[in-house]
Amino acid sequence: MTQVAWLRTSYWCGAVADVLVGALTLVPSRMGLPGFRYPMGLAASLMFAWAVLLLWADRKPVERRGVLPITVLVIVGLILSGICSVAVGLLPLSRIVPTTVPGVLLIVLMLFAYFNAAEASAGDALHSADQPAG
């Protein structure tokens, strides 16, 4: 796959995951938190907005690849939030596994796509600098 294809795959996988998790958070009882309707609604709006951000980045995949490491930070925060919820007894481990495993896979995919594209861009910049002006 090309660098652009990896970037686009990352953006779309992230956007789909955001929409799925956003839809789940609109029904707090499905997430194991029936008394948290308002904060879960806030979280859902952010998930849907982040999906739009990733689709926006897809329109200029190489130029907007910086969205990926920021997205990784968000995913890490979501995973840590889940781990903390398990640690304090708010959620059973079985509730966070279905989001944590895909989250880790997204992190790997996004970091690979980002560094793969950054390396290619650096190589292109070096190559074009060697070319005589014409």
pLDDT digits (tens, 9 = 90+) for 40-55: 889 999 999 999 999 9
Question: What is the token pair recorded at 131?
Answer: 């070319």
Number of H helices, E strands in the chain: 4, 0
| pLDDT score at 33 | 73
Q: What would the mean pLDDT of 66-87 be, rounded to a whole number?
A: 97
Q: What is the pLDDT of residues 3-37, one digit of tens each?
A: 999 999 999 999 999 999 999 888 877 777 777 88
Report the alpha-carbon distance of residue 1 to residue 97 in Å, rounded: 29
Question: What is the token pair recorded at 117?
Answer: 């594209």
Q: What is the pLDDT of residues 118-131, one digit of tens each?
A: 887 776 655 555 56
Closest CA to 13 of 113, 99, 106: 106
Q: What letter does residue 27 receive in the DSSP assignment?
A: S
Question: What is the token pair recorded at 61?
Answer: 């995949």
Residue 38: band (very low, low, confident or very high) from pLDDT cuts 50, 70, 90: confident
Q: What is the pLDDT of residues 66-76, one digit of tens each?
A: 999 999 999 99
Q: What would the mean pLDDT of 59-70 be, rounded to a whole number?
A: 97
Closest CA to 32 of 41, 24, 20: 24
Report the alpha-carbon distance of residue 94 to residue 96 in Å, rounded: 6
